[in-house]
Amino acid sequence: MRSSLSFLLLSSFALAAPYPEKTPDTPGNKLLDRYFAGEAREIAAHHGVSHVQTAEEWKKQAPEYRRQLAEMLGLDPMPEKTPLQPTQTGEVKGEGFVVEKLHFQSMPGLYVTANLYRPEKVEKPLSTILYVCGHSNMMKDGVSFGNKTGYERHGVWFAKHGYVCLIIDTVQLGEIRGEHHGTYSKGRWWWFSRGYTPAGLEAWSCIRALDYLETRPEVDKSRFGVTGRSGGGAYSWWITALDERIKASAPTAGVTDMQNQVIDGCVEGHCDCMFFVNTHRWDFERMVALVAPRPLLIVNTDKDAIFPIDGVFRIYQNVRKLYALLGHEANIGLQVAEGPHKDLQPLNMGAFHWFERFLKKADPMQVIDGAAKTLEPESLRVFTDLPKDERNTKIDETFVPMARTPAPATNEADWSRQTDAWMKALKEKVFNGWPQEIASVNPQKENSTERDGIRMTAFDFESQSPYRLRLHIVHRDGLRPQDLELIALNVLDEQGWNDFCATYNSRFGKLIEVFPGIPKNDEAFEQEKKMFTNFKWGMAYICPRGVGPTAWTGSEKAQTQRLRRFYLLGQTLDGMRVWDIRRALQTIRAIPGLQETPLWIQAHRDMAVDSLYASLFEDNIKRLDLHDMPLTHNGSVGGDPKAVAPAMLNVLKYLDLPQAAAMAAMRSRVVIYSDNKEAWDFPATITKNLGKEKQLQIRDVVKAEESK
């Protein structure tokens, strides 16, 4: 930047250096890496565009794919197009061009600040460029000028060459500062449950920007183009794929494939605005393909660390084949310049040539000049005082609507219809990342040992490749499986695993396979022994993936990026733990003698939530005991973070925990240990209305502890 602007920071906020973070080479970490690699390759093989064989096949599929993309951006159904209320706040004149400082509202109170560049004299409607900005932090003394001012040279170039160009701010780095880093660094995992991504917000800003441009007499609305780099490259993809008003597109450094993002770790260099909520488990080339057959120039550098050229080239090759099928191979291009992830003149020149050729139908060889910095950022600021009715700073809490709690059903028919709808949503929108084919668990008995009159048997089973999990079953020695009057599956989190090891490790260490040095709890073992002596009960214990024997290690940052990888795969960690619990239940039923034994589930904290959902998909569960269970998936309500449940993809678009508890209570007896009885009014009302009050019990936590 110019030395006179040294007080400004221009940076790529999407880039985190260094990445990916090196983590210890432990068995749990290696197992997780194998899992991510397998899932990423599965998606690449089956959810891109390589399967398309004919033009007719693509034309038939494309409208549904476009709808799916809108859904994954939180835009299906599309929000209401409310009045834009465009307002011009000033004007800057340059040599042969004019810059209008303006804002509009994409939703009431959701402000988009922008600069519109146009030639000083406009005699007829002109080709028009929507320029979307990357992560430029343009500030002075705590005042944001908006990232639009970091890219002013592009607007000047277009205006001087006979275009209208609208450069819009993003919500994070605009004049009113919102948030793109919810899961990247802010711990807002509830974004996953809400089905929210700031990518959808930026896509909506682009759609509304085109709506605004259509009102301008200087604009030829039949000749819209879009470009932008880094984050702006991603937003160029969103608007081009969604809105066919875009007639030519040149996204710059804004996409790569699943192999780069998940296996190679590029996700660690990106904030949330770079990704849709991958409900339908796409590889990114499918989104790129939605541009076809319109003119598309894919622009990248050869040493971009967060958009590696190998992944960009794989996307280009596959999408180019689709263009060829459609008979428009000449409409796709690849512009590669030497250099890192940076706004470089060779990249810009490629985009300029593309628009000259495909929007203006002009000779691109006449364009020989690049885009030079001209204007001071301060001069382009739209607001003097920020509007008091702005929603930008908290738009993540409302942009994707939550499902409303329905009136409790009063009859079986209404309840059945509601339950069917919820179960359909859970299968198709929340847990679509589960394996599509349910293979036999084939439990393998590893060993069985008796100590102090107690027998522990270990069974290994495959939950999902490469995860083989261990199920421990404990009961009084001398009892056969068919002699047990009850078996309770205890779903362990890390605290539960430590308690389990403290109770049993000193006697059954070889079966548990933990490191030595675990403190023992003889008092807890004696309590368990007393229970087994008095009752013909069996206790089963399972650690879902990432807990106990399969735990992964590393820093908090490393854990954050692992959770985000699940998200890119159309999953969440706890969504897949629900699958592990299902497989553990299936394993118990597959053990000879336990096919008909009454089966309970016991779980604490987040595992109580995971167990609740698992019970909806497995039959013949007699009872659930859910301790310290969070109250909601919605973290935006504030308050105690322990009240927020683990993320389940999109779940809040359909239901929340009280509704899931109501469904479970109509299938099994549910006992919830909670000090907040009001939180469970919905399932209590349902069971009362349908004459099944005994199916649900809310027990006070203190009294429950005393009863032990």
Q: For 586-640, how does the pLDDT look when each residue is reduced to its tens digit (9 = 90+)?
A: 999 999 999 999 999 999 999 999 999 999 999 999 999 999 999 999 998 877 8
DSSP 618-675: SS---EEEEES--SBS-GGG-S-GGGBPPP-TTGGGT--HHHHHHHHHTTSEEEEE-S
Name the pLDDT band for 702 (thresholds 50, 70, 90).
Answer: low
Residues 330 and 427 in one domain: no
Across all residues in the chain, what is the average pLDDT? 94
* pLDDT of 242: 98
Within a domain: 105: yes
CA distance 39 to 431: 15
Asked if residue 18 belongs to a domain, the reply is no
CA dihedral 588, 591, 596, 599 (to 10 degrees): -20
242-289: per-residue pLDDT in tens?
999 999 999 999 999 999 999 999 999 999 999 999 999 999 999 999
Judge whether 499 lies within some domain.
Answer: no
One-letter amino acid for residue 74 of the chain = G
Q: What is the mean pLDDT of residues 10-33?
A: 69
**Is the pTM value of this prediction over 0.85?**
yes
Residues 371 and 481 in one domain: no
**pLDDT (0 to 100) of residue 17:** 42
pLDDT at 14: 42
| Domain match, 361 and 422 both | no
Mind listing the pLDDT tens digit for each residue in 435-470?
988 888 999 999 999 999 999 999 999 999 999 999
With DSSP H G I counted as helix, E B as strand and the rest as coil, what are the percentages for the chain, rounded to 5? 40, 20, 40
Residue 572 lies in a domain: yes
* Cα gap 434→576, rounded to integer Å: 7
Q: For residues 338 and 425, state if they share a domain.
A: no
> What is the arrangement of strands in the sheet containing 87-93, beginning at the earlier edge strand?
87-93, 97-107, 110-119, 164-168, 126-132, 219-229, 246-252, 296-301, 332-337
Same domain for 247 and 288? yes
Dihedral pair phi/psi, residue 647, rounded to 5°: -75, 135
Residues 391, 430 share a domain: no
What are 201-227's pLDDT values in tens digits?
999 999 999 999 999 999 999 999 999
Check whether 561 has a pLDDT greater than 50. Answer: yes
pLDDT tens-place string over residues 35-55: 999 999 999 999 999 999 999
Question: Residue 306 domain-assigned?
Answer: yes
User: Is the CB of residue 497 less than 8 Å from the CB of residue 518?
Assistant: no
Task: Kindly state the percentage of the chain with pLDDT values over 70.
Answer: 96
| pLDDT tens-place string over residues 376-395 | 999 999 999 999 999 999 99
Query: Is 22 a domain residue?
Result: no
State the virtual CA torsion across 662, 667, 668, 674 in degrees, nearest 10: -10
- Give residue 536's pLDDT: 97
End-to-end CA gap in the chain: 68
Identify the CATH number of the domain in which residue 656 sits.
3.40.50.1820
pLDDT band at 369 (very low <50, low <70, confident <90, very high): confident
**Three-state secondary structure call for residue 27:** helix
What contacts 305, CB < 8 A, 6 or more positions away? Answer: 15, 17, 19, 266, 269, 340, 341
Is residue 355 domain-shared with residue 480, that is, in the same domain? Answer: no
Look at the chain and report how many structural domains it folds into.
Answer: 2
Model confidence at 7, in pLDDT bands (50, 70, 90)? Answer: very low
Question: Given a cut of 80, is residue 529 above it in pLDDT?
Answer: yes
Alpha carbons 256 and 311: distance in angstroms, whole number: 5
| Same domain, residue pair 92 and 208 | yes
Q: Is the pLDDT of residue 310 over 50?
A: yes
pLDDT at 371 over 70: yes
Tokens found for residue 237: 């993809």
Q: Is the pLDDT of residue 134 over 70?
A: yes
- Tell whether 283 and 427 lie within a shared domain: no
CA angle, 79 then 81 then 84, to 5°: 130
Q: Is residue 265 part of a domain?
A: yes
Asked if the model's pLDDT at residue 706 lies above 90, the reply is: no
Statement to judge: residues 333 and 215 lie in one domain:
yes
What digits encode the pLDDT tens for the residues 480-498?
A: 999 999 999 999 999 999 9
Q: Which residue(s) pair with 252 in the sheet?
A: 229, 299
- Do the domain assignments include residue 623? yes
429 and 315 within one domain: no
How far apart (Å, rounded) are the C-alpha atoms in residues 343 and 373? 12
Residues 390 and 422 in one domain: no
pLDDT at 514: 60
- Name the residue range of residue 131's domain: 44-397
Residues 36, 37, 40, 45, CA torsion sign? negative
CA angle at residue 274 from 270 to 280, to 5 degrees?
120
